[in-house]
Amino acid sequence: MKTLIFSTHPFEKPFIQEAFKLKKNQEFHFSKDHLSIQSAIQAKGYDAISLFTSDDASAKVLKKIKSYGIQYIALRSVGHDHIDLKSAAKLGIKVANVPEYSPYSIAEHTVALLLALDRKIPLGQELIKQNNFCLDSLVGFDLKGKTIGIIGTGRIGAAFARIMHGFGCKLLGFDIIQNDELMEQTDIIYTSLNKLCAQSDVISVHCPLTKFTKHLVNKKLFKSMKKKVIFINTARGSIVNTVDLIEAIENKTIAAAGLDVYEFEIPIFFINHLDKPIEDKLFKKLQSFPNVLITGHQAFLTNEALKGIAATTASNLDEFSKKGSSKNELF
């Protein structure tokens, strides 16, 4: 089987090379370009492609790669909101994702954002660089005893819940499926989304982006939140209505926001913009707030997670080549 790996980043290359060493019947090549209608031609001559979250796997692009002979797609992500699965199925292209890799990578990054915002680490650093050691603007709060609202208590949400349980926090959860084991381990209480918002001092989003969760966090929900909540999103940008988020920051419903994902991140993230300024007005607005901490979709970026992503991607492709199906196939 011959695979073209689109959107290859230097940080993941050694992990992919290592994972493929064990798969003898696999030939693979790297492309640093992201998949788009223009770059789809690169797929010619391959049986499979591997995609990153920034790739465009919409119906028209899938149709094009199918015409070049692509039969399989291995996603290097948990999230699969960037691929039109219905069109892939219609075209007979089989798709597999990485349903699980270190959930601690994202959960721990969520904690990093929360602690940095609560204890005002970025502002403190800035002041120290100006030789200003006054503490007056740096007062935070103890997390012990505070209420943490977790939207989506799957692998990552549960890992985050366990960490916050260790901090001595009270946990509220909202999910379409209750996690009984997590309830036993952390005393998390499942409640409605509105009650979670009304009672939480910190709200963290960990559900997938689906047609049901697009703009789940919107003006109405921000209105139901406790004033001065810390809001964190490390899941997907489009779960949150960005215009409404900006309004909630401006009207001080939100004391601070930690964002690893952004609704319109695709032309911005994973690229060095030193030579081409960012035009996106909403993003520039978010960047301008001193109480907003943005990371560029890097929550997954640990050695353990990269190793896990590469290993599952290689074995998904191996299964496709040997059996024509994969245990991680998406339907």
Question: Which runs of E-coded beta strand occur in the chain?
Answer: 2-5, 27-30, 48-51, 72-75, 94-96, 147-151, 170-174, 189-190, 202-205, 229-233, 254-259, 292-294
Q: Least distance to ligand NAD from the beta carbon of 131, Å? A: 35
- Would you say 64 or 260 has its CB closer to ligand NAD? 260
Number of residues that bind ligand NAD (CB under 6 A): 30
Residues with catalytic function: 236, 265, 297
The structure tokens 């939480």 sit at 200
Cα–Cα distance for residue pair 96/323, rounded to 1 Å: 13
Say if residue 26 is exposed, middle or buried (CB neighbours under 10 Å; 0-12, 13-18, 19+): middle
Task: Answer yes or no whether residue 308 interacts with ligand NAD by CB under 6 A.
Answer: no
Please list every residue from 246 through 265 that binds ligand NAD, using CB under 6 A: 260-261
User: To the nearest 10°, the Cα dihedral for 20, 21, 25, 26?
Assistant: 30
CB 299 within 8 A of CB 73: no
Judged by CB under 6 A, the stretch of 34-42, 120-128, 201-209, 267-275 that binds ligand NAD is 201-209
| Residue 99, token pair as written in the block | 């349903």
Among 92, 131, 136, 176, binds ligand NAD (CB under 6 A): 176
Among 203, 225, 235, 317, binds ligand NAD (CB under 6 A): 235
CB 215 within 8 A of CB 222: no
Please list every residue from 137 through 156 that binds ligand NAD, using CB under 6 A: 151-156
| Residue 193, token pair as written in the block | 């989304």
- Would you say 66 or 236 has its CB closer to ligand NAD? 236
Please list every residue from 68 through 127 that binds ligand NAD, using CB under 6 A: 78-79, 103, 106
User: To the nearest 10°, the Cα dihedral for 185, 189, 191, 197?
Assistant: -100
Name the residue whose CB lies closest to ligand NAD: 154
What single DSSP character describes residue 40?
Answer: G
Among 213, 241, 316, 326, binds ligand NAD (CB under 6 A): 213
- Would you say 118 or 260 has its CB closer to ligand NAD? 260
Q: Least distance to ligand NAD from the beta carbon of 156, Å? A: 3
- Would you say 46 or 149 has its CB closer to ligand NAD? 149
Q: Which residues bind ligand NAD (CB under 6 A)?
A: 78-79, 103, 106, 151-157, 174-177, 206-210, 212-213, 234-236, 260-261, 297, 299-300
